[in-house]
Structure 1
Amino acid sequence: MNISFSRLIAKVGLKRPGVAEGVGMLAGVVIDAVLADPRRGHPVALFGTAAAEVEKRVYGDGRARGVLHVALCVVPVALLGHAATRPGDPMVRAALSAAATWAVLGGTTLGREGAAMAELLEGGDLAGARERLPHLCGRDPSGLAVPELARATVESIAENTSDAVVAPLFWGAVAGVPGLLTYRAVNTLDAMVGHRNERYERFGWAAARLDDVANFVPARITGLLAALGAPLVGGSTRRAAAVLRGDGHRHPSPNAGRCEAAFAGALDRTLGGVNVYGTRVEHRPKMGEGPEPSVADIRRSVRLARAVGLAAAGLAVLAAVRGSRGRKG
């Protein structure tokens, strides 16, 4: 039977809006799983370089300057994403969706960093683990012992499962390529300037608040999926859900607490405590009822994060495809 390529596309429904994007998102997830992040020339790193240049030109110790910085960095990215996915060849839309999804996802790299920390600590390489920790979070590792390094790693994996995996997939399902790119721009700016220190307390306010809004729903999806996945790491869904409900709101971040609480409950461990960021010391509330994380719990948290990521990918692709029904191409 001789079926032309264009007829095949029509047969599988790729011409419907949302289907091409959903297929592309699925391809992007697979590419991320195989290739992870490139060591050089990553699109997000290039955006960060550009954002830093904009910061040099507009910085001022005030919220208005911070709002301007966010607008100058985020709006062009959103417009670029919109322009790139105007109605056209469905194969091109699928390819662009795949490329954008791969560019914004960080789940595979997150898992590899967690595994690297576990390997270093399992081998007794405390100095190597301290040197590696900044790949995951901004805490000062110089004075951290093995238990604190394990806790920092588990907490970072929990939070970044939302930031690097669930949130971009959520916004990709909601708004396609513009959603993927815009979310990553917002999240990257928050990582760059959304800090509570003398330089960024006011200038970074807009980036931090916008990131809070962008992650509000994804963080709660992450918490729910982590609770549902608890049996995969020897935990209880009921216990994880209880910790999520009881402790998730106690974290100073409106979003990170949901992720960390769910992971704490799923792993049956207690997270939270004293965190040192340079000269700033934060006392985080305890979440969970079990012992503090051990080195073995790092690999468990990686397995849970991967399960959450796979579930989120499936839901995002399904939402994108189902959302195409009833819309005209």
Structure 2
Amino acid sequence: MLIADHALWLVVVAILFDAVIGDPDFIWRRLPHPVVWIGNTIGWLDRRLNREAWSPTQRQLAGVGTMVLLVTGAGVIGFVLDQLLRQSWGGVVVEGFLASVLLAQRSLYQHVARVRDAFSEGGLQAARAKVAMIVGRDPEQLDRAGVSRAAIESTAENFSDGIVAPLFWLALLGLPGLIAYKAINTADSMIGHRSLRHENFGWAAARLDDLVNLIPARCSGVLVALVAPVVQGSITTALRIMWRDAAHHRSPNAGWPESAMAGALGIALSGPRRYAEGEVNEPWLYPEARKEASANDIDRALNLFAAACLLQAIVYAALALLL
């Protein structure tokens, strides 16, 4: 069997490409990003199939049909690309580059680092402007600790659904699995929320996203916990807090990496926060820990993130060599 036939090697190549070059602006200034294509498709299906005149049941069924069409189309595109490229070493390199486009290791690090740097470069107001680019809550309501916690929580949550989950499905199902996952995740972000328009139509997108992130979210938490010593944290504490507090999060999945991050850093995360649609009174993760986070804690979270990404790469490389 050619090495190019092994999805684990494809994962390793994709990780390397994303770590080294990330999302090169010189390409995406000239071409639409694949996620933009996916988003445009979802928007078109939403306009065509989510009809206000239909009953809630009809709109829910239309949402199910939308996800069937979306996932099937994504899988077919991935399968065709995989069949065209998997026959040679050069093909696996090209396929690895294409896969890396749908990962967020380097870009997530850069976005969160900008929040950290903004504190020293422009103060709280500058940090609020930077954090508004990665979270949905109202930045004007956030003090220094609130901005710092928001950046850390975004690091943890996006480590799971922007890196660990895409790689999990790439390893399991190859390029079709990766593209299908990104289609599901993008649909959840666009139509999976409980607005008047999407409460029924987006039901399938939200439930499917919960399902495909079930295992990766828990793997993300374990990875974060295992690298806790990088920031003088305790593996045992991180695992204990994750196991105890993950279910307290509003999301069935985001609580796992976030609570592991809280335990590893020794700070409380989540808690009450304000979004554009109003205040949300969420319970704290690791409530007995300190709540006064700072730019230094963002830096520690980024060190955890980088170490967890490295550990994940080592695991996949080892599996590729051994299997």
CA spacing shift, 1:44–1:153, aligned 2, 3 Å: same
Is 233-242 or 189-198 further displaced after alignment? Answer: 189-198
Partner of 2:33: 42
Deviation (angstroms), 1:176: 1.0
Answering whether residue 290 of structure 2 is matched by residue 291 of structure 1, we say yes
Q: Residue 83 of structure 2 corresponds to which residue in structure 1? A: 86
CA distance in 2, matches of 1:171, 1:203: 25
Q: Distance in 1 between matches of 2:24 and 2:202?
A: 28
Per mean C-alpha deviation after superposition, the further-off stretch among 48-57 and 89-98 is: 89-98
Aligned length: 309
Q: Which amino acid is the alignment partner of residue 5 of structure 2?
A: P
Q: CA deviation digits over 1:149-200, x for unaligned, max 9?
A: 1111111110000011111111111111111111111111111111122222
Tell me, yes or no, if structure 1 residue 24 matches structure 2 residue 5.
no
Q: In structure 2, which of residues 252, 255, 264 is the aligned counterpart of residue 254 of structure 1?
A: 252
Does the aligned pair in 2 maintain the 1:121–1:295 contact within 8 Å? yes
- The residue aligned with 1:146 is 144
Paired letter, 1:236: S
Native 8 Å contact 1:273 1:283 kept in 2: yes
Give the equivalent residue in structure 1 for 2:310: 310
Distance 2:124 2:69 in 1: 42
Q: Which amino acid aligns with 1:75?
A: T
Q: How far apart are 1:285 and its partner, in Å?
A: 1.1
Q: Which residue of 2 aligns with 1:65?
A: 62
In 2, distance between residues paired with 1:154 and 1:264? 9
Alignment partners' CA distance in 2, 1:16 and 1:213: 29
Cα distance change of structure 1 residues 168 and 321 upon mapping to structure 2, 3 Å threshold:
farther
Q: Which amino acid in the other structure matches residue 257 of structure 1?
A: G
Go from structure 1 to structure 2 and tell me whether the alpha carbon gap of 1:114 and 1:34 turns closer, same or farther (over 3 Å shift). same
Structure 1 Cα separation of the partners of residues 170 and 320 of structure 2: 8
How do 1:64-213 and structure 2 match up within 5 A?
A: 64-86=61-83, 89-91=87-89, 93-213=91-211
CA change 1:316–1:199 in 2 (3 A) is farther
What does residue 220 of structure 1 align with? Answer: 218
> Structure 2: which 5+ residue stretches go unaligned?
none
Aligned to 2:300: 300
Give the Cα separation in 2 of the matches to 1:269 and 1:260: 11
Look up the equivalent residue of 1:137 and give its one-letter code. V
Q: Rate the CA distance shift 1:204–1:134 in 2: closer, same or farther, 3 A.
A: farther
Contact map agreement 2:268 2:284 (CA 8 A) in 1:
yes
Distance (Å, rounded) in 2 between the aligned partners of 1:321 and 1:203: 44
Corresponding residue SS for 2:140: coil
Q: Residue 192 of structure 1 aligns to which amino acid in structure 2?
A: M
The letter for the 2-side match of 1:26 is: V
Aligned amino acid, residue 127 of structure 1:
Q
1:25 and 1:97 in contact (8 A); partners too: no
CA distance in 1, matches of 2:103, 2:313: 11
Runs of 5+ consecutive residues of structure 1 not aligned to the other structure: 1-12, 324-329
Aligned residue identity for 2:162: A
Q: Percent identity?
A: 36
Give CA deviations for 1:209-268 in whole Å, capped at 9, x if unaligned. Answer: 111111100010111111110000111111111101111111111100011100000001
SS in 1 for 2:279: strand
**8 Å contact 1:174–1:320 — kept in the other structure?**
no
- Residue 270 of structure 2 is matched in structure 1 by 272
Q: What amino acid is the match of 1:86? A: Q
With normalisation by structure 2, the TM-score equals 0.89
CA distance 1:200–1:296, shift in 2 (3 Å): same
